[in-house]
C-alpha cells in the first residue's frame, strides 16, 4: 500500500459504514470457516430482515470462494485506517448498485473476482448491500459523468472540494459562488 491510498476518515459516513460492514462480514467469515455452526450477525438499530438477507448473500458468496479453495478477501482489519484496492472496488460497485448501474457493478468487481461463478455471487451480494444501505438511509456518493463541452456547473465555495472528490468535478470548468463580505445592494 502506498500513501496514495485513501484513508477511512477521508470518506463520507456512508462509505465508512460500507467499509466497516465489508470488513466485519469478511472477518466473521474467516473466523467461522473452522466452526460448524453459523452464528447470527447482530445488527443494532437496523432492520433485521434486510440485514439478514444481505448477510446471507455474502455468506453464499464466501461459501463459493471456500468451495473453490480461493483465498479470503484482501480487506483491512477493523482498526486499519487505509483502504485496500479491494475495498475501493467494493465502494465503487456499491455506489453503482445504488444508482442502478448494473454493468458498472460487474466491471468494478471483475478485478477482484475473475472467476465467473464467484463474480456473479458477489455482484448479487453487492446489490443486496446497496439496497440494505439505501433502506437504512445511507447513500454512497457516485461520480457523475462529465458535463458536455461549454456547459458549466455553478456550486457554492464551501462544498467545492467535497463535490470535486465525490463527483469527479472539473474545477477548471466550474463557476464558484464565493460568499460576499458586504451586501450587493449596499450604497457605496
* Tens of each residue's pLDDT in the chain, 188 residues: 444 667 888 888 889 888 888 888 888 776 655 444 444 444 445 567 777 888 888 888 888 888 888 877 888 887 788 888 888 889 999 999 999 888 899 888 888 888 888 888 999 999 999 988 888 888 888 776 665 666 655 555 555 566 566 556 566 666 666 555 555 565 55
The closest of 4, 33, 14 to 136, measured between CA atoms, is 14
**Which residues have a Cβ under 8 Å from the Cβ of 185 and sit 6 or more positions away?**
none
pLDDT recorded at residue 168:
61
C-alpha gyration radius of the chain: 20
15-31 CB burial, b ≥16 within 10 A, e <16: beebbebbbbbbbbbee
> Are the CB atoms for 81 and 11 separated by under 8 Å?
no
**Which residues have a Cβ under 8 Å from the Cβ of 9 and sit 6 or more positions away?**
16, 81
CA distance 50 to 103: 24
For helices 13-32 and 116-135, give the axis angle rounded to 10 degrees: 130
pLDDT recorded at residue 97:
92
CA distance 103 to 165: 23
CA distance 95 to 92: 5
CA distance 40 to 53: 12
pLDDT recorded at residue 32:
57
CA distance 41 to 34: 17
| pTM value > 0.75 | no
Give, for 177, the enclosing helix (H) or strand (E). Answer: strand 174-177
pLDDT recorded at residue 127:
92
Amino acid at each position: 500500500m502506498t500513501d496514495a491510498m485513501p484513508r477511512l476518515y477521508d470518506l463520507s459516513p456512508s462509505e465508512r459504514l460500507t467499509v466497516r460492514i465489508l470488513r466485519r462480514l469478511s472477518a466473521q467469515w474467516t473466523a467461522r470457516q473452522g466452526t460448524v455452526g453459523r452464528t447470527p450477525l447482530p445488527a443494532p438499530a437496523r432492520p433485521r430482515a434486510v440485514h439478514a438477507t444481505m448477510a446471507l448473500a455474502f455468506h453464499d458468496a464466501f461459501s463459493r470462494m471456500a468451495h473453490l479453495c480461493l483465498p479470503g478477501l484482501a480487506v483491512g482489519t477493523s482498526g486499519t485506517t487505509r483502504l485496500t484496492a479491494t475495498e475501493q472496488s467494493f465502494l465503487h460497485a456499491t455506489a453503482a448498485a445504488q444508482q442502478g448501474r448494473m454493468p458498472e457493478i460487474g466491471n468494478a468487481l471483475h478485478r477482484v473476482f475473475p472467476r465467473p461463478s464467484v463474480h456473479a455471487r458477489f455482484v448479487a451480494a453487492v446489490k443486496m448491500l446497496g439496497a440494505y444501505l439505501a433502506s437504512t438511509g445511507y447513500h454512497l456518493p457516485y461520480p457523475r459523468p462529465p458535463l458536455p463541452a461549454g456547459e458549466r456547473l455553478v456550486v457554492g465555495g464551501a462544498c467545492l472540494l467535497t463535490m470535486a472528490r465525490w463527483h469527479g468535478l472539473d474545477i477548471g470548468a466550474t463557476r464558484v459562488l464565493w460568499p460576499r463580505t458586504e451586501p450587493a445592494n449596499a450604497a457605496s
